[in-house]
Amino acid sequence: MFKLRVDTGGTFTDCWGLAEGETIPRLAKVLSSGRLRVAVRAWPRPNELIIEVPASWRIGDTFFTGYKLESDGATALVLSFESATGRLVLSRPLPPAEAVDLFTREEAPVLGARLLTGTPLDRPFPPMDFRLATTRGTNALLERKVARTGILTTRGFRDVLEMRRRDRPQTWGLRGHYTPVVPRALRLEVDERVL
């Protein structure tokens, strides 16, 4: 069974994978928008380019077939891919650029899973132990970019978000005046169940 661990952040999604029987993990970093930004080595023709292919991806021929490629704001469909050379053939000419984006309509964790398992669009994934974590919720709270929401805490921990990591005035004061992290949040405290 393939082990896959993914952490989706606001900008990047980091992926770690380990195939059964292997001891060295595979790594990939994709944009959290579900895009893969790759460096271009050459543009032999307007509808053909050669990209850098990291060895950790372990992808085969035709892997990017069916993906979309964006270069300088213009988009084309990838018709074929050669893994040994990094050569892509496109459905139409595009303006040359030093880096391009490859993407499908899949979310970033799925794109990372495809890269690390070598699974093209037309094939099913192998059996996986997939674990996903994200810092998006934490980032939204810290940046105060949240909608009206509710917070449910154990009784006595109503101000846990404001207390943070001691980055507040009067760290040891008995009465603190905190700026609410989520100013319009409904806060409910419940009795904790302890066995």
Query: Is 116 or 151 the better-scoring residue by pLDDT?
Result: 116
Contact yes or no for 32/110 (Cβ under 8 A): no
φ, ψ (nearest 5 deg) of residue 49: -145, 160
pTM, to two decimals: 0.71
> Within a 13 Å sphere around the CA of 115, how many CA atoms are in the beta-carbon half?
35
CB atoms within 10 A of CB 10: 14
Of 13, 39, 40, whose CA–CA distance to 111 is shortest? Answer: 13
For 4-54, how does the pLDDT look when each residue is reduced to its tens digit (9 = 90+)? Answer: 999 998 889 999 999 999 999 999 999 999 999 999 999 999 999 999 998
Give the mean model confidence (pLDDT) for residues 174-178.
Answer: 59
For 50-106, how does the pLDDT look when each residue is reduced to its tens digit (9 = 90+)? Answer: 999 987 788 999 999 999 999 999 999 999 999 999 999 999 999 999 999 999 999
Hey, which residues does 155 pair with through a beta bridge? none
Give the mean model confidence (pLDDT) for residues 154-183.
Answer: 64
Hey, which residues does 52 pair with through a beta bridge? none
Would you give the DSSP letter of residue 164? T
Give the Cα separation of 158 and 47 in Å (integer): 59
Q: Which two tokens stand for residue 13?
A: 């999604």
